[in-house]
Amino acid sequence: MVKYVYDFSEGNKDLKDLLGGKGANLAEMTNLGLPVPPGFTITTDACRTYMSSGMLPPELRVEVTMAVRRLEDAIGRSLGDFHDPLLVSVRSGAKFSMPGMMETVLNVGLNDASVQGLADFAGNERFAWDSYRRLIQMFGKTVLGIDGDLFADALDAKKKAVGATSDTGLSAEDLRDLVGAFKDIVKAESGREFPQHPREQLDLAIEAVFNSWNTDRARLYRRRERISDDLGTAVNVVAMVFGNLGEDSGTGVAFTRDPSTGMIGDYGDYLPNAQGEDVVAGIRNTLSLADFEKLDPNAFGELRQVMRRLETHYRDLCDIEFTVERGKLWMLQTRVGKRTAAAAFKIAHELVIEKLITEDEALERVTGEQLSKLMFPQFDTKAKRTLLAKGMAASPGAAVGQAVFSSATAVEWAAEGKTVILVRRETNPDDLGGMIAADGVLTSRGGKTSHAAVVARGMGTTCVVGAEALDVDVVAKKFSANGTVVKEGDTIAIDGSTGEIFLGAVPVMPSPVVRYLEDGLDAALAEVGDDKDTHELVVAVDTILRHADAVRRLHVEANADTPEDAKRARTLGGEGIGLCRTEHMFLGDRRVLVERLILAEDEAEQQVALDALMPLQREDFIGILTEMDGLPVTIRLIDPPLHEFLPDYTELSVKVALAEARGDSGEEVARDKMLLAAVNKTREANPMLGLRGVRLGIVIPGLFTMQVRAIAEAQAARIKAGGSPKAEIMIPLAASVMELHLIRDEAEKVLVDVAKEQGVTLDIPIGAMIELPRAAFTADRMADVAEFFSFGTNDLTQTTWGFSRDDVEGAFFNQYTEKGVFSVSPFESLDTQGVGGLVKMAVEKGRATRPDITLGVCGEHGGDPDSIHFFHGVGLDYVSCSPFRIPIARLEAGRAAVEQGGGDTR
């Protein structure tokens, strides 16, 4: 029989798949003997059953009843008791943290009869009515689907009527009136009375939490974070402890280290006389933990001990939610905390120094995506800037954009190509779409643990919160700060590292991490000077990246087509060039020579054009081989269809037609007519599957011969100059071993001739680019001819899915993502089941024929973190990516080696 309910005493932190992150960690804290309110967790199995059938499992109601009774026995109070009621919270808790994306209902069990009993028990009538109005407000919005603004407006109206500036200014009588108003809203909007039976409240709340797994914002967040829709959420039912019992009570969120900078210390927010959602919502600006220590030194001292114990136990930054009830500390949640990219590297490095984790574990704690964020530019501190205000630095980065005041506008303007900063008083989960679209988020309220701060940090979006000097008017679409008015569309800049807000654009400068990557550690540290935070960050990145290089098996090469790209790639740690695209060398002023080749009426004219191109190609290769001396340079023979080197057919047709209509003549008109005939002749319905790649080399005599000779003569020139060139020749788009034979035979003759002519030995391997399914299926035969394979995963993805990339990405990829056909574009991250299956098969077949074959990948996936882990697992020898992504690939290759082991090292 399936068990759907677990008491906290029955679980542990390793059961996140079953109990969700929150339930597993509540169980772990219970097992550690920390002060956790008793409760139980309804498993993700129950959620998945509910999602598939639309009904709660019948056994669940029985198990919940048994768990509630055990809870009542432990507390000594009963759910629904009129005199001493047990109240519970009902909270979501998925395996992966989804802050603010799903639902929570507090104070479940309270009703018209028990509210007075709660007042008598607490000795505080105001507290009881405040708790009841919170229940109706949360239940109405979460469970009954009522617009939350109706409750918020009623609350604001009541405060205005009595002259209160905050919720705490309302009296017990005011709150009693508000409860009545809230109940009227429930009746008017839902057609039913607010439920009075505590068990009905509990059952409906449980079902609402399950339903919240599939809200639009939750699904959007999961797509953004690549979390599977199939996991489901657990539900945690916990005995209520109250932070709104008076000034000796409160609620807060604490971090064992600063999640923004990684600095060691006590960081967090505290609100006296409040419940947990008040902190997260950012409705009231919070106090610091230092203020909390002054208010209640005993509770703070106990919290500090718990923080140290949890960080030691989890060996990582911990995010902790707590409540103080009349001086008694209660732990409501802990989890490994989300952090900024800078904090991730600094914390991982510091924990190694503290000997809490190993260097391998430190490598697992950071990601290539985080490293890429550290490579983004920062504001130039020496530039002229107009400071508007300063808030709390919640998530670092330098963001410049037009101010917008609604999530919908942010999404709309971003879709139009505009860069925007989302400005709000505070954000809520419904703002997620705008937060994703915006380059930065700015709020006038909230602290470092508010919704805006937590979500922005998790996404790596620049964020400043709690800028109290800002008077934000969302309706009028403007804000004012110290006498300056900023309207929607005006440009502002926010610094997520300092909390500064500037009027207008601010120039940026390269990040210190890029300076380190390009110029080395000493140069970067010299430029940093006395900036301790940045000094520690650069050292952390250097230490972790060097360890990644030490443990990784995959080599990291670059996609580079010029000597400048090659030099940059080598500076950033590239170990060769995995893809040098020769067609890029035919553009610009050389296009006319390609046109001449295409227009040639016989082989003699073709040869004239090829003879003119050859020395230019040779010099290109000499430059690249010089920069990459001693490292492999894989040169792909020309790949794209010829029409890419010719004018656009429509534009040329119009030009010729107009010339004819005017009666124009002359050399230019005659040339245009010849070009039009050639363009018309080379036009193809689907050029990406037409005359390109190896087919060009076979159909146009001498084309590949010219390129091979240029490569061979460049290698010979470098050898004679005392270099150690390592050119490799790659044949593109081959689908048949016979195609490889034809080109290889031709190439080998050229290599022999050049070696004799130059008096040198030329060792230039010849391999194949595997970018068609047939090539993968026949890889055992291809390996008879090819000395290496390089997987061109861009075209392999196109031909496997039947996609024309230029057409489909804008046509329907958004719908495919929304409907779950795929969670991320297969051109962005490798489709490991389909395209990856072909890669794995080709690896196995190729090595079966040629055990020493070199295998790599040169598509855009070579720089994608998830794809790199796959390539390590199937046993490739190298990945090749753009120069800028080389450090990211180095890091991820190291992480893959640590997480998976050595992989296939044959």
- Calpha distance 840→810 (Å, rounded): 30
Q: Which of 47, 318, 580, 858 is catalytic?
A: 858
Spatial neighbors of 82 by CB under 8 A, at least 6 apart, are 113, 114, 116, 117
How many other CB atoms are found less than 10 A from the CB of residue 293? 17
- Calpha distance 584→606 (Å, rounded): 20
- Calpha distance 806→809 (Å, rounded): 6
Q: Which tokens is 856 given?
A: 């790599």
Please list the residues that pair with 632 across neighbouring strands. 726
Residue 800 near residue 838, CB atoms below 8 Å: yes
Polymer length of the chain: 906
Q: What is the DSSP string of 99-127?
A: TTTS-EEEEET--TTHHHHHHHHHT-HHH
How far the first Cα of the chain sits from its last, in Å, is: 47
Cα 758 to the chain's mean position, in Å? 52
Q: Which tokens is 737 given?
A: 């071993």
Angle formed at CA 792 by CA 788 and CA 793, multiple of 5 degrees: 130
| HEC profile of 529-565 | CCCHHHHHHHHHHHHHHHHHHHHCCCEEEEECCCHHH
Q: Inter-axis angle of helices 591-599 and 603-627, to 10 degrees?
A: 150
Enclosing H/E stretch for 85: strand 85-86
Residue 269 near residue 253, CB atoms below 8 Å: yes
Compute CA distances 495 → 464, 503, 508, whole Å.
7, 12, 11
Cα 165 to the chain's mean position, in Å? 40
Q: Which of 47, 349, 451, 869 is catalytic?
A: 451
Pairing of strands 508-509, 555-559: unpaired
CA-based Rg of the chain, rounded to a whole angstrom? Answer: 33
How many other CB atoms are found less than 10 A from the CB of residue 229? 14
- Calpha distance 103→107 (Å, rounded): 14
Pairing of strands 392-395, 508-509: unpaired
Secondary structure of residue 504 in the 3-state scheme:
coil
| HEC profile of 171-224 | CHHHHHHHHHHHHHHHHHHHCCCCCCCHHHHHHHHHHHHHHHCCCHHHHHHHHH
Residue 162 near residue 174, CB atoms below 8 Å: yes
- Calpha distance 240→91 (Å, rounded): 11
Residue 417, sorted as left (phi over 0), alpha (psi -120 to 50) or beta, turns out to be: left
Is-catalytic flag, 858?
Answer: yes
Residue 296 is classified by DSSP as -
Residue 337 is classified by DSSP as P
- Calpha distance 579→583 (Å, rounded): 12
Enclosing H/E stretch for 239: strand 233-239
Enclosing H/E stretch for 393: strand 392-395
Q: What percentage of the chain's residues is helix, strand, coil (to nearest 5)?
A: 50, 15, 30
Alpha helices (H) in 764-864, listed in sequence order: 773-777, 779-782, 793-801, 805-811, 813-818, 835-849
Is-catalytic flag, 881?
Answer: no
- Calpha distance 697→1 (Å, rounded): 66
Secondary structure of residue 143 in the 3-state scheme:
coil
Would you please indicate which residues are annotated as catalytic (active-site) residues? 451, 858
